[in-house]
Structure 1
Amino acid sequence: MAHNRKRVGATALGLTAIAAIAFVPATPAQAEPSIKDVKARVDRLYHEAEAAQERLHDARIDLTDLRRDLAGLKADQARQDERLDEVRDQVSDAVVRQLEGEGITTVGQVVVSDDPGAFLDTLSTMSAFNDLQSSMLADYDTQLEALEIRREATDSRAKEIAELTEQLSTESETVDDKLAEAKDLLGDLEAEERKRLLSSRSVTRMPASVPASGRAAAAIAYAMAQVGDAYVYGAAGENAFDCSGLTMRAWAQAGVSLPHSSTAQFSSGTRIAASELQPGDLVFYYSPISHVGMYIGNGQIVDAANPGTGVRIAGLYSMPYVGAVRPG
């Protein structure tokens, strides 16, 4: 009897297993994205947009430098033109004098001259003068050719930067589209999950005070006063910033001029080891560098993070840390 009950139980288990297999769908249903997946995707897209914006800042700095170089070249060209006009006038006068004396041979002029020695000295001086004119013209031609080559190179570079600017604009538009997608996806989540997502971002509480003095204190005071302001790509105040825009404006309060670019700011001061960080130092993230914040002590930074977070307080190592610089 016990043996029969075991056989019946085994049969029932087998039928249950078969039924379970029968009801397994041939193609698994598409799983809804988790709150973690959405957060990761949105953060990734925010950073892609920021990296593109920082590259655009670099391109604008390069273009400004190139335009300044070109202005200098044009000034050199104007000076060379004036010099050439002077040379042309001198050569023209020499030709006129030669034409006025045509028909009198050099030997004849020596014979009829009251002072043949003085005339020969004059002739020698004129020959040297003509050689000087030739030398000046040759020098000018050489310099003019060099200037033309430089100008063509500058124009070519300016064209490249214009193309890069257009490319970055297109890239930013693409990232914006992706951000809109991610936000739509976020909008499809339940209200409670959206709340969890927004509250899960790494934001640290505002410190009561930051120990700093001198210029660093002025920079920190400005940056801390912007906590809670919006993040806008390319902005540098008054009520919205991107990462390098915030640090640029903050250190401007201390009389230190920084470029509007995280990459350029990394080259705008003394490199500092993480163990030597002091409040006010600039800290940089990602490789290649595409984000900058300001150290405020106790393992914390203030930075313009992204459009979802704005200007915040965060941990020093909340992003992939690259290095630090002390401005001024």
Structure 2
Amino acid sequence: MAHTRKRVGAAVLGLCAIAAISFVPATPALAEPDIKDVKARVDRLYHEAEAAQERLHDARLDLVDLRRDLAGLKADQARQDEQLEAVRDQVSDAVVRQLEGEGISTVGQIVVSEDPGSFLDTLSTMSSFNDLQANLLSDYDTELEALEIRREATDARTNEIAELTEQLSAEKSTVDEKLAEAKTVLADLEAEERDRLLASRSGTARMPASVPASGRAAAAVQYAMAQVGDAYVYGAMGENAFDCSGLTMRAWAQAGVSLPHSSSAQFGSGPRIAAGDLQPGDLVFYYSPISHVGMYIGNGLIVHAANPGTGVAVSGLYSMPYVGAVRPG
């Protein structure tokens, strides 16, 4: 009897254990992604990609300047060659004329010369030619050394920029992969939450009915505002897609002002303006080092090519880490 009770008890315990196990999930439940974390991640990845693109713009501008310098140095070398050749011809002619009378001593030549003063003048001229030639050769050697140093520096910098370009390309590929991952997370969110996230990512604001700009700035503001809703594409500068510095460059071009395709380079395009003195059309800059630019449109708002998820939009002046502002023109 006791043995039977033990068997029944063991069976009951076994059933309880099985029941308990059946209520334990096979794998831990995955927590839903926090929308704030997703927003922070997407913002960070978008900015990393934009910063890489802006550094690439800077590298390309540097390369253009270096190539222009090298072309100027080569032109200087060609002019120096022509000048030296002319002096060499003059000296050669003078030497030949003197060698024609090499059998007569210098004193004898003075004696037999119909015009001894003229002959002495010739010797003086030859001496001047020799001095000039020596000076020119010395200067030319110096210029050649300077040219070689500059050429080596240019070659080194060209290689450096090529390496930087390759590095940035790899970096951008990595960021693109991360962006794809972030977009996958966004796609898994409920539609309502996703729309709310996309609307809040860059601090987009209601577009004003009109912008009270004047002078050349009016043309720039009008162009930038007309692009609201266009796509953001890295390296683009229109017609229907822009990156941040591409938008401001094209906008101010409508006012006859040429700007470089680089946010950090545009920071040097005009006098610095205090935040309290901003006027529509002023360029405003963000992050340290500078890697984003927008255009002030008044009432504490800017228009800018925000990021690939938002495109060209109107946002608050302080929706990103503010650095400063300039007034082009």
Distance in structure 1 (CA, Å) of the matches to 2:121 and 2:196: 99
Q: Secondary structure at the match of 2:187?
A: helix
Distance in structure 2 (CA, Å) of the matches to 1:28 and 1:62: 54
Superposed displacement of residue 128, structure 1: 2.5
Distance in structure 2 (CA, Å) of the matches to 1:123 and 1:313: 81
Give the aligned partner of residue 62 of structure 1.
62
Which deviates more from structure 2 when the two are superposed, residues 205-214 or residues 84-93? 84-93
> 1:4-153 residue pairs with structure 2 within 5 A?
31-153=31-153
Does the 8 Å contact 2:87/2:129 carry over to 1? no
Superposed displacement of residue 203, structure 1: 1.4
Kindly tell me the number of residue pairs found equivalent between the two proteins.
306
What one-letter code is carried by the residue in structure 2 that aligns with 1:100? E
Distance in structure 1 (CA, Å) of the matches to 2:180 and 2:322: 28
RMSD: 2.2
Q: Do the aligned partners of residues 133 and 188 (structure 1) sit closer, same or farther apart at CA in structure 2, a change above 3 Å counting?
A: same
Distance in structure 1 (CA, Å) of the matches to 2:88 and 2:120: 25
What one-letter code is carried by the residue in structure 1 that aligns with 2:171? E
Deviation track 1:1-25 (CA, whole Å, cap 9, x = no partner) reads: xxxxxxxxxxxxxxxxxxxxxx999
What one-letter code is carried by the residue in structure 1 that aligns with 2:306? A
Q: Do the aligned partners of residues 252 and 182 (structure 1) sit closer, same or farther apart at CA in structure 2, a change above 3 Å counting?
A: same
Does the 8 Å contact 2:233/2:308 carry over to 1? yes
Which deviates more from structure 2 when the two are superposed, residues 101-110 or residues 313-322? 101-110
What one-letter code is carried by the residue in structure 2 that aligns with 1:287? S
Q: Do the aligned partners of residues 111 and 251 (structure 1) sit closer, same or farther apart at CA in structure 2, a change above 3 Å counting?
A: same
Q: Secondary structure at the match of 2:271?
A: strand
> 1:305-320 residue pairs with structure 2 within 5 A?
305-320=306-321
Does the 8 Å contact 2:284/2:326 carry over to 1? yes
Give the aligned partner of residue 260 of structure 1.
261
Q: Do the aligned partners of residues 32 and 100 (structure 1) sit closer, same or farther apart at CA in structure 2, a change above 3 Å counting?
A: farther
Q: Do the aligned partners of residues 111 and 240 (structure 1) sit closer, same or farther apart at CA in structure 2, a change above 3 Å counting?
A: same
Superposed displacement of residue 229, structure 1: 0.3
Q: Do the aligned partners of residues 121 and 197 (structure 1) sit closer, same or farther apart at CA in structure 2, a change above 3 Å counting?
A: closer
What one-letter code is carried by the residue in structure 2 that aligns with 1:251? W
Per the normalisation by structure 2, the TM-score is: 0.86
Q: Do the aligned partners of residues 81 and 122 (structure 1) sit closer, same or farther apart at CA in structure 2, a change above 3 Å counting?
A: closer
1:163 aligns with 2:152: no
* Runs of 4+ residues deviating >4 angstroms: 27-30
Q: Do the aligned partners of residues 88 and 115 (structure 1) sit closer, same or farther apart at CA in structure 2, a change above 3 Å counting?
A: closer
Give the aligned partner of residue 11 of structure 2.
none
Superposed displacement of residue 171, structure 1: 1.2
What one-letter code is carried by the residue in structure 2 that aligns with 1:102? E
Give the aligned partner of residue 296 of structure 1.
297
Deviation track 1:280-314 (CA, whole Å, cap 9, x = no partner) reads: 11111111111111111111111100000000011
Q: Percent identity?
A: 85
Distance in structure 1 (CA, Å) of the matches to 2:121 and 2:211: 83
1:227 aligns with 2:228: yes
1:243 aligns with 2:244: yes
Q: Do the aligned partners of residues 115 and 236 (structure 1) sit closer, same or farther apart at CA in structure 2, a change above 3 Å counting?
A: closer
What one-letter code is carried by the residue in structure 2 that aligns with 1:97? R
Q: Secondary structure at the match of 2:77?
A: helix
Q: Secondary structure at the match of 1:270?
A: coil
What one-letter code is carried by the residue in structure 2 that aligns with 1:306? N
Q: Secondary structure at the match of 2:42?
A: helix
Per the normalisation by structure 1, the TM-score is: 0.86
What one-letter code is carried by the residue in structure 1 that aligns with 2:271? T
Superposed displacement of residue 118, structure 1: 4.1
Distance in structure 2 (CA, Å) of the matches to 1:54 and 1:179: 18
1:181 aligns with 2:181: yes
Does the 8 Å contact 2:91/2:129 carry over to 1? no
What one-letter code is carried by the residue in structure 2 that aligns with 1:238? E
Superposed displacement of residue 252, structure 1: 0.9
Distance in structure 1 (CA, Å) of the matches to 2:24 and 2:108: 122
Distance in structure 2 (CA, Å) of the matches to 1:121 and 1:287: 70
Q: Secondary structure at the match of 1:271?
A: coil
Give the aligned partner of residue 323 of structure 1.
324
Which deviates more from structure 2 when the two are superposed, residues 184-193 or residues 123-132? 184-193
Superposed displacement of residue 28, structure 1: 7.3
Q: Secondary structure at the match of 2:151?
A: helix
What one-letter code is carried by the residue in structure 1 that aligns with 2:324? G
Superposed displacement of residue 275, structure 1: 0.7
Superposed displacement of residue 227, structure 1: 0.4
Q: Secondary structure at the match of 1:294?
A: strand
Q: Do the aligned partners of residues 163 and 98 (structure 1) sit closer, same or farther apart at CA in structure 2, a change above 3 Å counting?
A: farther
Distance in structure 2 (CA, Å) of the matches to 1:258 and 1:73: 26
Give the aligned partner of residue 217 of structure 2.
216
Give the aligned partner of residue 4 of structure 1.
none
Could you tell me which runs of 5 or more consecutive residues in structure 1 were left unpaired when the two chains were aligned: 1-22
Q: Do the aligned partners of residues 256 and 167 (structure 1) sit closer, same or farther apart at CA in structure 2, a change above 3 Å counting?
A: same
Could you tell me which runs of 5 or more consecutive residues in structure 2 were left unpaired when the two chains were aligned: 1-22
